[in-house]
Chains A and B, each alone.
Chain A
Amino acid sequence: MNFIKSYLREKQDSSSLALFRLGFGILMTISIIRFWQKGWIETLYLDPSFHFSFYGFEWVKPIGEFTYLIFLVCAISAFMVAIGYKYYLSIIIFFLSFTYIELMDKTTYLNHYYFISILSFLMIFLPCNARFSVDSLIYKKKYALIPKWNVDTIKFLLFIVYFYSGLAKINSDWLINAQPLKIWLMSNYDLPIIGNTIMQKEWFHYAMSWSGMFYDLLIPFLLIYNRTRVYAFLLVVFFHLFTAILFPIGMFPYIMIIAALIFFDEQTHKKIIMRISAFFKLSNIKSVVTEHKYFAYPKQKLSLFIITVFFIFQITFPFRYYFYPGELFWNEQGYRFSWRVMLIEKKGYSTFKIVDGESKQSFYVMNEDFLTELQERQMSFQPDFILEYAHHLGDHFTNKGIEKVEVYVDSYVTLNGRMNKRFIDPDKDLMKEKRGFKNKEWILPLNEKIKGF
């Protein structure tokens, strides 16, 4: 206990959080603007007539033209976070608006969006505006020191992200078959110089798979350890820029590079802050601010409690797949929110049969009448999507006057280069199956064991 108590009393320069806040806020602002500018608000949230919801969050939907307003609020709050203006309000609004956006349609689910959501949640409890912020100008206060554990929580979250995604790579598809990297790398034939040479080599696929696994597992340790930190950071930059070239992963590499800066020591952070400050000649305006030595944490116990619960959840939740039988990569029960990234190359083809339970007349549905291309593609290989869509179809045709609607699916899926297999029991009326966390018995087994985590 004493150890914990003294740990909680340890202090660190507040520059670390300030710099992190600045980087996070700027990148988020850019991300939202980029998303908007690419027209994705329209194509992903306004064009589709139907949206796939997360279980329990069916009430979170795009709100027509006002969806733009959510993005505007999100972008503004991100910018306010960056400059540290009304920080607590801003980060709460950012967390809520960003999370709302991510919950609107799970077609666009990405682990790194989830990462942003939970990181911004964590930041609600951290005094990231203690220094180098508009708030400190307004309240004429700044704090030189903050609790060390504040910074450590961010490091720990990053640790979980990397380490868990490394653990997930310890599986036979990834290490023994070099899949799906084999497929993905070979399709990068169009890159100059390396595209038609090493990208096509089997040894390179294995090298990438194995080094990717070691990278994810070890990089958090190398970043924590003083003597390896600089090299580790260079590796982070190299690795993420490399993946940025190879895969269409948007802002994520840049976010991870900036986030990894948190592992450097407080003096480095302070220096960077000074540099930025000097560059923008901010020192001219700081004269009125009185400097306080140590940030007095309001309700530290409550914050600590919430953060502890938060981390217990983060540590345990990714292992929930243990409660489901069958192959995780195949049935994807417990796959999301678990830092399983770039692990599966999956494509499906699912066509739905509507049966009138009374006349036994039947017909097939053309998916493009109900879904966008992206939605159809995501739906075709994910069981929870298939079920939700089946119910949507059932409801639609009930409204059209078919009284006892039955919905069946012809579904075929290919996983990591395996020849396609039938995915869902074609004789199960999906209208009779309920959404939820219970094991989906209507998924046909892969009949093959992918060994590992």
Chain B
Amino acid sequence: MKTKNYIILSLICIGLIFSCSKDSSDDNFISQVQSNQTNTTTDTTDTSSTSSSTGTTTTGTTTTQVSSFDRGTILVNYADNIIIPRHNDFKIALNELKNATDNFTDAPSIANYDLLHEKWVESYKKWQYIEMFNIGKAEEIMFYNKVNTYPASTDRINNNIDENKTDLSNPNDWSAQGFPGIDYMIHGIESTKQAIVDKYNNESKYGIYLKTLVNDMSTNTNIVIDDWGTYKASFISSVDNTATSAFNMLTNDFVFYFEKGLRTNKIGIPAGRFSTSPLPDRVEAYYSSKNSFEDISKILALESRKAAEDLFLGRSSSGDLGASYKSYLDYLETDLGATLISKLEAAETALNELEDNFISQINSDNNKMLLAFDALQTIVVNFKTDMLSNFNIAVDYVDADGD
């Protein structure tokens, strides 16, 4: 990058010398550049004021017709109002899950079990808002793989329980931990609540493994959150258009999450879109539905969709809008932002059409699942063609063509 800057500066100098040495009409050019620069400074204060003002949010983002756009403002809004608060929300929920786990394993009872289940649902919902941020430390420690790889591998889990295994860093153990692992531990090792509570009462190895799972998640979450304390500064300043800049990586992560984490994993695979027949046992939170504890697959899918919509609109958990992909698209003068908003709403409608229990939905009327898939698919198409093209996200590590 440095050499790039030097080349630019020297080219500009040459250009200026050239134009100065010629006739006076060129002076206009220079003054024009200067006036543009002053424009820019006022514009940036404009955008920052819209992002900080909370009352006139909707008008603020739709009317940003600025003559320059700073991708940095998007990253600042995303980091300050979405990524970091959402991580903190998750951490709080996870702490409650941890306490509930300790309570339950210390004294397994129906009451303690119910609390544990409730906290698992709460924290699983909060997780949907941060799974997409597979960037920085999270990417480095494989946070997302360790927290939400499903379907859970029951063989692996049973083995680990028997061996009292506490080190789950091996990639083969990804499907033996996290929320899907806990799902099996509290809804799957037996098919009724009482039988499960009894198991924890009779043999300590279940409690030990359950605690390991929750503690690992908690440790990893703290690592990621602590790192954001220092990572944030480099994150918000990394706006250059290179394959490794934070803006580009985040955008790719976001699109990847929508395609893979939401469309494929939550809907596509269980609905059999990638296999000759449906695979209902691949739904998220499978054991909770299967053994009739609570049907949360749909709830999680809806949260996930909302999480994606929030990021696209730059919307914080309190509903405030700020600089976002949407406002950037508006700046680039495409209709794409409006198209995507209505498609994201249509996807919500399609998901709401589904039964709470995805397993029975797939078995009774899989076509509705496929319709939900299509509603998400059409958004993926817009993201991967129109949006990435308009942003001209540099993802290539190789040379492109030139003249």
Please list the residues of chain A having a beta carbon within 8 angstroms of any beta carbon in chain B.
Answer: 38, 40, 43-44, 108, 110-112, 165, 183-184, 186-194, 196-198, 200-201, 212, 216, 238, 241-245, 247-253, 339, 341-342, 345-349, 351, 356, 361-366, 373-374, 377, 412-414, 417, 419-420
CB of B33 within 8 Å of the partner chain: yes
**Set B276, B339, B385: member contacting A363, Cβ < 8 A:** B276
Query: Which of A243, A250, A251, A412 lies in contact with B385, CB distance below 8 A?
Result: A412
Q: Which of A108, A187, A192 contacts B8 (CB 8 A)?
A: A192
**Bound Cα distance A43, B384 (Å):** 23
Cβ–Cβ contact B402 & A198, under 8 A: no
Which of A187, A238, A362 has the most C-beta atoms of chain B within 10 angstroms of its own C-beta? A187
Instruction: Determine if B332 and A186 form an interchain contact, defined as CB atoms under 8 angstroms apart.
Output: yes
Q: Is the CB of A414 within 8 A of B389?
A: yes
Cβ-neighbour of B68 out of A108, A200, A346, A356 (below 8 A)? A200
A165–B33 alpha-carbon span in the complex (Å):
30
Q: Using a CB-CB cutoff of 8 Å, which residues 349-403 of chain B contact chain A?
A: 377, 380-382, 384-386, 388-403
Which of these, A38, A183, A341, A348, contacts B402 with CB under 8 Å?
A341
Please tell me if B46 contacts chain A, counting CB pairs below 8 Å: no
User: Which residue from chain A places its CB closest to the CB of B36 in the assembled complex?
Assistant: A197
Complex partner residue of B398 from A44, A194, A198, A413, CB under 8 angstroms: A44
Q: Tell me whether B11 is interfacial, beta carbon within 8 Å.
A: yes
What are the residues of chain B within 8 A of A245 when measuring CB–CB? Answer: 4, 7-8, 11
A417 is contacted by which of B241, B274, B339, B389 (Cβ under 8 Å)? Answer: B389
- Looking at the assembled complex, report how far the CB atom of A38 sits from the nearest CB atom of chain B, in whole angstroms: 8
CA separation between A102 and B71, bound complex, in Å?
A: 37
Instruction: Flag if B70 contacts A196 (CB, 8 Å).
Output: yes
Question: Quick check: is B12 within 8 A (CB to CB) of the other chain?
Answer: yes
Residue B168 at the chain A interface, CB threshold 8 Å: no
Q: What residues on B are CB-neighbors of A165 within 8 Å?
A: 403
What are 6 inter-chain pairs, A to B, with CB distance below 8 A?
Answer: A110-B400, A111-B403, A193-B12, A196-B69, A200-B68, A200-B69
Residues in B neighbouring A339, C-beta threshold 8 A: 403
Complex CA–CA separation, A15 to B70 (angstroms): 52
Q: Once bound together, how far apart are the Cα atoms of A339 and B384, in whole Å?
A: 28
Query: A110 CA to B335 CA in the complex, in Å?
Result: 32
Known A-B contacts A193-B8, A361-B277; A112 and B240 likewise in contact (beta carbons under 8 Å): no
Q: Verify B399–A110 contact, CB threshold 8 A.
A: yes
Q: Decide: B274 and A252 in contact? CB cutoff 8 A.
A: no
**Using Cβ atoms and an 8 Å threshold, which residues of chain A touch B385?**
347-349, 412-414, 420
Task: Give chain B interface residues in 266-302, CB to chain A under 8 Å.
Answer: 268, 272-277
Check B389–A190 contact: CB distance below 8 A: no
- Which A residues touch B19, using CB under 8 A? none
Give the contact-size bracket for chain B: 35 or more
A186 to B328, CA, bound (A): 11
A108: chain B residues at CB < 8 Å are 398
| B223 in contact (CB, < 8 A) | no
B9 within 8 A of A: yes
| Residues 28-69 of B contacting A (Cβ, < 8 Å) | 33, 36-37, 40, 67-69
A43 to chain B, nearest CB (A): 8
User: How distant is B34 from chain A, measured CB to nearest CB, in Å?
Assistant: 9
Kindly state whether residue B346 has any CB partner on chain A within 8 Å.
no
Task: State the Cβ distance, A409 to closest chain B Cβ, in Å.
Answer: 13
Does B402 lie within 8 Å of A420, measured CB to CB? no
Smallest beta-carbon distance A238→chain B, Å: 7
Does B342 sit within 8 A of A, measured CB to CB? no
- Chain A's closest residue to B239 (CB) is A190
Q: Which residues of B contact A341 (CB under 8 A)?
A: 401-403
Report Cα–Cα, A249/B402, bound state, in Å.
6
Across the interface, do B402 and A364 meet the contact criterion of CB distance under 8 Å? no
Question: Known: A112-B402, A200-B69, A341-B403. Is A194-B388 also a contact (CB below 8 A)?
Answer: no
Known: A238-B11, A248-B396, A412-B381. A187 touches B401 (CB 8 A): no
The answer on a CB contact under 8 Å between A363 and B275 is yes
CB distance from A157 to the nearest CB of B (A): 15
Among B7, B382, B403, contact of A420 (Cβ-Cβ < 8 Å) = B382
Task: Flag if B274 contacts A364 (CB, 8 Å).
Answer: yes
Say whether B225 faces chain A, with CB atoms less than 8 Å apart.
no
Q: Are A200 and B389 in contact (CB under 8 A)?
A: no
* Leading 9 A-B pairs by shortest Cβ distance: A249-B402, A250-B399, A187-B392, A190-B240, A341-B403, A420-B385, A414-B385, A347-B389, A349-B384
Report the minimum CB–CB distance from A349 to chain B (whole Å): 5
Chain B residues 163 to 197 lying within 8 A of chain A, measured CB to CB, are none
Q: Please, how many angstroms separate the alpha-carbon atoms of A249 and B37 in the complex?
A: 29
Q: Does B14 contact A (CB under 8 A)?
A: yes
Q: A37 to nearest B CB, angstroms?
A: 13
Q: How far is the CA of A345 from the CA of B392 in the complex (A)?
A: 9
Specify which chain A residues have a CB less than 8 angstroms from the CB of B398 in the assembled complex. 40, 44, 108, 248, 374
Known: A111-B403, A186-B392. 19 other contacts (CB 8 A): A44-B398, A186-B332, A187-B393, A193-B8, A196-B70, A198-B33, A245-B8, A247-B402, A250-B399, A252-B402, A347-B384, A349-B380, A349-B381, A349-B385, A351-B377, A356-B276, A361-B276, A364-B274, A412-B381
Complex CA gap A186/B381 in Å reads 22
B residues near A414, Cβ cutoff 8 Å: 385-386, 389
Residues of A close to B394: CB separation below 8 A: 187, 248
With A247-B402, A342-B402, A420-B386 known as contacts, the answer to whether A365 contacts B274 (CB < 8 A) is yes
Checking B8, B380, B388 against A191 with a beta-carbon cut-off of 8 angstroms, the contacting residue is B8
Q: Contacts of A38 on B, CB cut-off 8 Å?
A: 397
Q: Is B21 an interface residue (CB 8 A)?
A: no
Q: Which B-chain residue is minimally distant from A39 (CB atoms)?
A: B397
The interface residues of chain B lying within 8 Å CB-to-CB of A342 are: 401-403
B5 at the interface (CB under 8 A from A): yes
Query: Which of chain B's residues have a CB closer than 8 A to the CB of A183?
Result: 389-390, 392
The reply to whether A200 and B67 form a contact with Cβ atoms under 8 Å apart is yes
Whole-angstrom CA separation of A249 from B400 in the bound complex: 5
B400 close to A363 (CB less than 8 A): no
Does the CB pair B399–A363 fall under 8 Å? no
List A contacts of B264 (CB < 8 A).
Answer: 366
Asked if B334 lies at the interface with its beta carbon under 8 angstroms from chain A, I say yes
